[in-house]
Amino acid sequence: MEPAKNQTNQPTKPAVKSNWSLLLGAAFLMATSAIGPGFLTQTTVFTQKLAASFGFVILMSIILDIGAQMNVWRIIAVAEKRGQDIANMVLPGLGYFVAFLIVAGGLAFNIGNIAGAGLGFNVLFGASPVIGAVISAVIAITIFLVKEAGRAMDRFTQIAGFVMIGLTVYVAVTSAPPVGEAIVKSIVPDQIDMMAIVTLVGGTVGGYITFAGGHRLLEAGVRGVGALPEVTKSSVTGILVTGVMRVVLFLAALGVVAHGLAIDPANPPASVFKLASGEVGYKVFGVVMWAAAITSVIGAAYTSVSFIRTFHPTLETHYRAIIIGFIIISTMVFAIVGRPVKILVLVGALNGLILPITLGTMLIAAYRSKIVGNYKHPLWLTVFGILVVVIMTYMGGYTLVNELPKLFK
């Protein structure tokens, strides 16, 4: 007798009961992967440039983020495969190409994440950034050495996420931002900055970040058509957590800008925290920077390696060792070479260009019965996803041609 089949035409696996803690863990893994040193810097710099109108950029990015992430996570859950395997089924070899882009981008970003962790340590304890980076790397590696690494990762990112948001809310309140103006300009902005939107979307759901929580849920057994309500809830929660952090950081910076205080271009986010809350604010920045950086190190390493572990049984067997090696290499590059700023800027922008490729691939997969079986993808989600692909392709192309060359002059 043939084993029972589910709607994806695959043998039914034993049901794994998910719970809110697991769903929240996946959401926070995605969110804290997005909230890294670059996130803090981007938000501060664009607030300084656009003032209250940056609220519109945040609103647009949240809408585009939800459209991208809901599609990707649902299709991963229904196909019960990771992103690279789905891409290879859509077009042989495409999964290897996507994996290369994501692993290369993840490694480049992780150098910046390690640098951010070192900076946070420096602010808090006065240790050199390199020593702080090494200590942070050891902490991240320890998480992957414990028996229940997935659960440890979930719990660590949740705690760090709540700490970051709570402390940034405190700074936002002390900076006394013009909230009313921010609300109005979020709907009717004085100007629309395409590069800001591309950068925010690329930094939130571009590259490896889109797949972080989806791959985590798959590994934990939250999969199949029956799990879609939970997958949707977790994916939207991840974007909303990121959005909340973005908004409170925006308000903190806006308060500083609105009061006419000068933000230090050498370290914009640190300057905002210090100007808003004095020396206490500067120490709060150290905590927020370290928490943002260390969780991004964990998320980047875990998700980047998840994109290659299915290519060979040896990679699957030793994936934890590969994750640890990923973190060690990132730390060594930072300690020896330093933080390659221009490369990080370039990779950040390219993340926005990777998104149309990965999301477009997933949308095609949603209509391939050999991948999703009898599952019918909602038309509204398909339309939503196509709009995100078109908008990000246009804005990403515009940015690549008109804005990025300016960074390298």
pLDDT (0 to 100) of residue 52: 93
The total of structural domains in the chain comes to 1
CA distance 88 to 95: 4
CB atoms within 10 A of CB 141: 20
Q: Please indicate, yes or no, if residue 1 is contained in any of the structural domains.
A: no
- Tell me the DSSP string of 332-345: HHHHHH---HHHHH
Q: Please indicate, yes or no, if residue 14 is contained in any of the structural domains.
A: no
pLDDT (0 to 100) of residue 351: 65
Q: Please indicate, yes or no, if residue 7 is contained in any of the structural domains.
A: no
pLDDT (0 to 100) of residue 2: 40
> Between these two residues, 130 and 266, which has the higher pLDDT value?
130
pLDDT (0 to 100) of residue 3: 43
CB neighbour burial string for 270-302, b if at least 16 within 10 angstroms, e if fewer: bbbbbbbbeeebbbbbbbbbbbbbbbbbbbbbb
CA distance 131 to 119: 10
Domain that holds residue 80: 20-407
CB atoms within 10 A of CB 57: 28
pLDDT in tens, 325-374: 999 999 998 888 776 555 555 555 666 678 888 999 999 999 999 999 99
Q: Please indicate, yes or no, if residue 272 is contained in any of the structural domains.
A: yes
Q: Please indicate, yes or no, if residue 241 is contained in any of the structural domains.
A: yes
pLDDT, average across residues 170-185: 93
Q: Please indicate, yes or no, if residue 234 is contained in any of the structural domains.
A: yes
**C-alpha triplet 219, 209, 20: angle, nearest 5°:** 50
Task: Report percent pLDDT > 90 for the chain.
Answer: 56
Task: Report percent pLDDT > 70 for the chain.
Answer: 89
Q: Is 17 helix (H, G, I), strand (E, B) or coil?
A: coil
pLDDT, average across residues 20-29: 85
pLDDT in tens, 38-67: 888 888 989 999 999 999 999 999 998 898
pLDDT in tens, 126-172: 889 999 999 999 999 999 998 788 888 888 999 999 999 999 999 99
Tokens of 9: 């035409």
Which of 11-25, 165-179, 209-223, 275-289 shows the lowest mean pLDDT across its residues?
A: 11-25
Q: pTM score, two decimals?
A: 0.85
Which of 22-31, 300-309, 347-356, 393-402 shows the lowest mean pLDDT across its residues?
A: 347-356
Show Cβ contacts of residue 172 under 8 Å, excluding neighbours closer than 6 positions. Answer: 248, 249, 251, 252, 255, 276
Would you call 383 exposed, middle or buried from its count of C-beta atoms within 10 A (0-12, 13-18, 19+)?
Answer: exposed
Closest CA to 82 of 375, 390, 373, 361: 361
> Between these two residues, 350 and 240, which has the higher pLDDT value?
240
Q: Please indicate, yes or no, if residue 10 is contained in any of the structural domains.
A: no
pLDDT, average across residues 11-35: 72
Find tokens 């109108």 and name the residue.
Answer: 53
pLDDT (0 to 100) of residue 403: 60
Distances 389 to 49, 65, 70, 353 between C-alpha atoms, Å: 27, 11, 13, 9
pLDDT, average across residues 177-196: 91
pLDDT band for 406, please (50, 70, 90 cuts): low
Query: Which domain CATH number covers 96?
Result: 1.20.1740.10
SS3 percent helix, strand, coil of the chain, rounded to 5, is 80, 0, 20
Distances 310 to 102, 202, 218 between C-alpha atoms, Å: 15, 25, 13
- pLDDT for residue 324 is more than 50: yes
CB atoms within 10 A of CB 12: 12
CB atoms within 10 A of CB 262: 10
- pLDDT for residue 104 is more than 90: no
pLDDT, average across residues 316-328: 94
Distances 226 to 17, 19, 356 between C-alpha atoms, Å: 11, 14, 28
CB-based contact 238:27 (threshold 8 Å): yes
pLDDT in tens, 380-400: 999 999 998 988 888 777 767
pLDDT in tens, 200-210: 887 777 778 88
Q: Please indicate, yes or no, if residue 209 is contained in any of the structural domains.
A: yes
CA distance 121 to 344: 21
CA distance 398 to 2: 53
- pLDDT for residue 122 is more than 50: yes
